[in-house]
Structure 1
Amino acid sequence: MTVIAQTPKPPYYAVIFTSIRTPVDDGYGDMANRMIELASQEPGFLGVESAREEVGITVSYWQDLDSIQRWKANAEHREAQRLGHEKWYASFKTRISKVERDYGRD
């Protein structure tokens, strides 16, 4: 089931990870699912949204910059990053933004 992350009233932060995959799968889906499971256990994690097509886009939401830094330093996450650099991503970009306003329909 596809859901939109339920975030609190701003401000909060968004980490936007955009990628183009290599043809290598070799456990990618399992690792991606594990990273979402692991991130959701981190203090300050607020939610995640992801779309994987020609260009993959994953947006995770965080309470503050310290929470993002702790997630970046997580040992299992660092191993996933290493594998991504070595075999899963032809190119990627990470952007960190402060969300000042949000609106929509649930």
Structure 2
Amino acid sequence: MIGEVVVIGGLNLQDGVSIEEYERLGERMYEIVSGLPGFLSVKSFKADDGEELTVFRFASEEALEAWRTHPEHIEAMKRGHAEFYASGRLQICKVVREVGPFEHT
């Protein structure tokens, strides 16, 4: 959708982190973001080199801003940097053209 915002996160976990605690926090964040107006989807993938890629889709910049400034999300981001992530980056992209969806018939 034109105007849609896509956030691509590439994150590497620190050695020895509690995967259970990391997943628990991720589940809570999903509960919150999935209930926000304008949230479209999130998908995560783990690359062979261990990097975790997550793609969030929001209907607008305003929807992304509601997520970015949500109080529990702010605290989770701080905790992620302190306890879980060795490195990472986020890319915030605005859709300028979309082709599809395609269906094979």
TM-score of the superposition, structure 1-length normalised? 0.83
Supply the AA of the counterpart residue of 1:58.
T
CA RMSD of aligned residues (A): 1.6
1:22-41 alignment to 2 at 5 Å? 22-23=14-15, 24-25=17-18, 27-41=21-35
Counterpart of 2:58 in structure 1 is 62
Residue 52 of structure 2 corresponds to residue 46 of structure 1: no
Unaligned runs of 5+ in 1: 1-8
| Residue-by-residue CA offset, 1:71-90 (whole Å, 9 max, x unaligned) | 01101111110111101000
Instruction: Report the CA distance shift for 1:33/1:105 in structure 2 as closer, same or farther (over 3 A).
Output: farther
Q: Please identify the structure whose Cα radius of gyration is greater.
A: 2
The percent identity for this pair of structures is 30
Number of residues paired by the alignment?
Answer: 98
- C-alpha distance in 2, partners of 1:82/1:52? 22
TM-score of the superposition, structure 2-length normalised? 0.83
- C-alpha distance in 2, partners of 1:74/1:85? 17
Instruction: Report the CA distance shift for 1:86/1:42 in structure 2 as closer, same or farther (over 3 A).
Output: same
SS at match of 1:27: helix
On the 8 A contact 1:18/1:56 being kept in 2, the answer is yes
Instruction: Report the CA distance shift for 1:42/1:55 in structure 2 as closer, same or farther (over 3 A).
Output: same
Instruction: Report the CA distance shift for 1:102/1:60 in structure 2 as closer, same or farther (over 3 A).
Output: farther
- Among 8, 13, 18, the alignment partner of 1:21 is 13
